[in-house]
Amino acid sequence: MNANGQKSAGGSAAGAEDEAGLTVVWAVVGTDIGPLLLAATDAGLVNVVFHASPAVRDSAVERLGSRLGTEPVEALDSPLLAEPIRQLKAYFAGERRDFELPLDWSLISGFNRQVLRELASGVPFGTVVGYGDLAGRVGQPGAAQAVGTAMGANPLPVVVPCHRVVESDGGIGGFGGGLETKRQLLALEGVLPQPLF
């Protein structure tokens, strides 16, 4: 049994558990913006990684294992990933505007976590917020640059919508997944016109 009272499957496709009982599973899912690596623990979705080519995937899985102290196991059919996969597919199909998923925030802390939680709860689909405005929402009005750093450290992009954070002068701002990916996500949400090609 793990910490949530569920039966563990050891090293099977259902999950991997270390001595402390932490289960970490991952899978790569194809989307309109390319392959995404999704990883989850018993607490919830813990990581989303853009452009999950084999090299990116291997590096992300190794980094995740190091950060969480257990070996993540590939498990596309894991119940821990079923709902995140379903909701992401619905989002990209234009059938879902909000994610209703348990999130595991253990890969981020302090100011960055505070900013990302505000972003997740306070910037809805189809809207954008400036870096400085988001800093003000968490009580740090002069911390626009630190908000940019928090966006770059976001372990849960798309689900925690850092693509919705833009420059106050109307510029699109930076994005860990690349500017074209940010444009595609904002176009999907109706904030920008769809690209011509």
Query: What is the model's pTM?
Result: 0.86
Q: Which of 25, 147, 162, 165 is catalytic?
A: 162
What confidence score (pLDDT) does residue 171 get?
85
**One-letter amino acid of 34:** G
Whole-number average pLDDT of the chain: 89
162 in active site: yes
Are 50 and 176 a contacting pair, CB within 8 Å? yes
What confidence score (pLDDT) does residue 145 get?
94
CA distance 159 to 77: 20
Mean pLDDT of 179-183: 94
The CA distances from residue 175 to 21, 35, 50, 170, in Å, are: 34, 17, 11, 15
Q: What one-character-per-residue DSSP string does 8-51 give?
A: P-TTSTT--B-TT--BEEEEEE--TTS-EEEEEETTEEEEEESS
Q: Which residues does 143 contact at the CB level (< 8 Å), separation at least 6?
A: 111, 135
